Amino acid sequence: MTMPAEYFESLYQASPDPWGFADRWYEERKRAVTLAALPEPRYLSAFEPGCSIGLLTLGLAQRCDSLLASDLSPFALREASERLRGWNNVYLEHQCLPRDWPPGKFDLVVLSEILYYLSPTDLDNLIALASNSILAGGTLLSVHWRRYVPDYPLGGDEVQRRVATLRDRSLVQTVHHVEADFDLTVYVKRHDVNGFEELSVAGKEGLR
């Protein structure tokens, strides 16, 4: 089953930052790695589902003209709203995914630490929605904790394999960074299914 809203609300009632996003070096470093892995210096329209209290959202806001961030927890969204006060390019929404996946297209979708909360069916539906919502030339980033958590329906390695298997084939893997703790993968949607130069960050700047 997909984890219910009550599960997350109980965590936030016990602690306003149940995963230690704000004070753990592990989390700070992983955010830095995540942002560094994005191949574009700036994005026009981005979506970050499962934004929690908005630490990664704050980093993404500095790279995006427009950023939609959502979460299942009203408590988390209130905390994120306070953290992102003054960032007029960020829009926060209460969503239950995959049911409430937003319409429209994005040139960046960030799936950070959310997919293992979903049932296999909901996960597969979300992967399809994410793949289909990426504009040509856009980026899909998926990063997940690899350690075993008994509460979660799936493990991080399993969800990363499902993303790799079920993604739209026009999404080409450009980054795969694996550590003992997390797996981070970046996919770019090709403009030309036969062209690979556009996938090179250096190539885009004329470096050969």
* Torsional sign, CA 155, 21, 16, 81: negative
pLDDT at 127: 97
8-17 pLDDT tens trace: 999 999 999 9
Q: How far is CA 4 from the centre of its chain?
A: 19
Which overall architecture, per CATH, does domain 5-195 show? 3-Layer(aba) Sandwich (3.40)
Q: What's the pLDDT tens digit per position in 37-66?
A: 999 999 999 999 999 999 999 999 999 999
Tens-place pLDDT, residues 178-198: 999 999 999 999 876 555 556
Token reading at 61: 């806001």
- What confidence tier does 107 reach under pLDDT thresholds 50, 70, 90? very high
Please provide the DSSP assignment of the chain as one string. Answer: -PPPHHHHHHHHHH-SSTT-TTT-HHHHHHHHHHHHH-SSS-EEEEEEES-TTSHHHHHHHTTEEEEEEEES-HHHHHHHHHHTTT-TTEEEEE--TTTTPPSS-EEEEEEES-GGGS-HHHHHHHHHHHHHHEEEEEEEEEEEE-S--TTSSS-HHHHHHHHHHHS-TTEEEEEEEE-SSEEEEEEEE-SSTT--GGG-HHHHTT--
pLDDT of residue 117 exceeding 60, the answer is yes
Q: 44-58, 67-81, 86-100, 179-193: which range is least confident on average?
A: 179-193
What is the structure's pLDDT at 187? 97
* Angle between helices 156-166 and 120-133 in degrees, nearest 10: 50
Mean pLDDT (the chain) is 94
The strand order across the sheet containing 106-112 reads 90-94, 64-71, 43-49, 106-112, 134-145, 182-189, 171-178
Query: Would you list the domain boundaries of the chain?
Result: 5-195
Residue % of the chain over a pLDDT of 90: 90
Task: Using CB atoms within 10 Å of the CB of residue 52, give its burial: 0 to 12 exposed, 13 to 18 middle, 19+ buried.
Answer: buried
